[in-house]
Homo-oligomer: A and B are copies of this chain.
Amino acid sequence: MAGKSESETTRLDDAARAGWLYYVVGDTQDEIARKLGVSRQSAQRLVSLAVSEQLIKFRLDHPIARCMELAQMIRAQFDLRMCEIVPSDPAAPFSIAGIAQAGAAEMERVLRSDESKIIAFGTGRALRACVEQLRPMECPQHTAVSLLGNMMLDGSATAYNVIIRFAERINCRHFPMPLPPLARTAHERELFQQQEPVKNILEIAEKADVTFVGIGEIGEAAPMLVDGFITHDEIRALTAAGAVGEITSWVYDKNGELIRGLTNDRVTSAPLHADPDHLRCGIAAGRQKVKAIRAAMKGRLINGLITNEATAEQLLK
């Protein structure tokens, strides 16, 4: 096992080297092969490994006119603090490709501050992808806190572990929340929230300087349903009550107002604010999320947005 991990790391080292030579230096794979003393095919494999293992990251650093324009319009219409639009792939206009790089760039902007910041996180696929794109940096001055529990009801950890990965990357103090996002009953929620550590975490979350959240739609493909936190029946009840979206498990209607009762009675996540002084950045894209995103902006549940071109076009309709 030591041997395996040893050979594994040197292989990744070589891949990193190859990736560096290929993309940064601009060598051909033949040259890389010679420099590394391997066959050309192996050099090719190393380069492609560097890409597939994300040892090499690509980032677009150019304001594309159409995207800027859309961002400007959305920022004005929904009175946002920030709005970032990434180009869409014409073949798959609603895919979340590219969002991750933009999200990471925004996070790095915050992290670069020397002042100590409290950064709060929701969860979800998009957010996780952003964190994967972060460049490792030493930021012990900051604190990361989770807005919602990362446990399944059986105590196992959830799939999209955003906060721990984030803290690992930047090496900061972090507070994951050791709860399921939904309690079984309103009463159980009270019990959870009376635990000292949980109270402490919620207090920290309250003071967050910046918040990054994913946005979930409500429907047959809702993340909450897919991840097994709620049932089909509950989705139907929520839909009937006018629910269109969800942020950190708090379900809201088309005006961004929280649904009263139903699953919201059991949500253990930190409360949502509409505090205009701090950035609450939603990160989401997709045709089926348009309503949820628009509602979140209307209700000022978020005051910042990172999405893509195609989603942005829909939001303005």
Chain A residues in the interface with B (C-beta under 8 A): 9-10, 12-13, 15-17, 19-21, 23-25, 27, 31, 35-37, 50, 53-62, 64-66, 68, 72, 86-87, 89-91, 97-98, 101, 105, 108-110, 112, 135-136
Contacts and interface: CB of A to CB of B under 8 A. Distances in A.
Given A37-B108, A65-B16, A56 B58 contact: yes
Q: Which 6 A-B pairs have the closest CB atoms?
A: A37-B109, A16-B62, A23-B58, A55-B62, A35-B90, A20-B60
Nearest to A92: B25
Contacts of A105: 10
A65 B20 contact: yes
Given A10-B105, A20-B68, A61-B135, 10 more contacts: A9-B65, A12-B62, A13-B62, A20-B60, A20-B65, A31-B91, A35-B91, A53-B62, A55-B61, A56-B58
Contacts of A72: 25
Contact of A59 (B10, B13, B37, B57): B57
Contacts of A136: 61
Nearest to A132: B61
A64 to B, nearest CB: 5
Contacts of A24: 58, 60, 97-98, 101
A98 B25 contact: yes
Nearest to A55: B62
Contacts of A56: 58-61
A7 to B, nearest CB: 11
Nearest to A60: B20
Given A24-B98, A91-B31, A112-B37, A13 B66 contact: yes
B60 A55 contact: yes
A211 B251 CA distance: 62
B57 A10 contact: no
A313 to B, nearest CB: 15
A168 to B, nearest CB: 13
A37 to B, nearest CB: 3
A62 B23 CA distance: 14
24 contacts: A13-B62, A16-B64, A16-B68, A16-B87, A19-B60, A20-B87, A23-B58, A24-B97, A24-B98, A24-B101, A27-B89, A27-B91, A35-B89, A35-B90, A36-B90, A37-B108, A37-B109, A37-B110, A37-B112, A56-B59, A56-B60, A58-B58, A59-B59, A61-B136
